[in-house]
Amino acid sequence: MKLNMDFTMAVEIIQFLRDRKSDDYIEAEQVAKGLNYSLGYLQKTMQALSKHGIIDSKRGRIGGTRLRKRKITLLDIWNVTCGEIVTDPAVPALKKPLMAFADALSKVVITK
């Protein structure tokens, strides 16, 4: 299965921020360099994560980004990058698999 690139990048951003030794803000450029992603594309994904309350972002000379102190699951990231999973689809045969997929994603905790 091929995953959405935004989803993959968002998971890697969260893991990168989680594994840092410091809770200080880090510049997006440093995150992009550490993960080997283009800065512009990474900033777009980070902006979406910030908008949905998963990371904190701060502008300015001492700005950057850092992880918020909360539980984050794969479902949280999926909802930000791919949209909410429809658990009541128009095709009834899809209801059970979609609910199972959403349940599985909600059980994988990336940060606590």
The secondary structure of 40-104 as a DSSP string is HHHHHHHHHHHHTTSEEEE-STT-EEEE-SS-EEHHHHHHHHT----SS-SSGGGHHHHHHHHHH
Digit-coded pLDDT (tens) for 16-41: 999 998 889 999 999 999 999 999 99
pLDDT reported for residue 104: 95
Class of domain 5-111: mainly alpha
Mean pLDDT of 42-48: 94
In the chain, where the domains are located: 5-111
Q: Which pLDDT tens digit goes with each residue over 50-99?
A: 999 999 998 888 889 999 878 999 999 999 999 988 877 888 888 899 99
pTM comes to 0.88
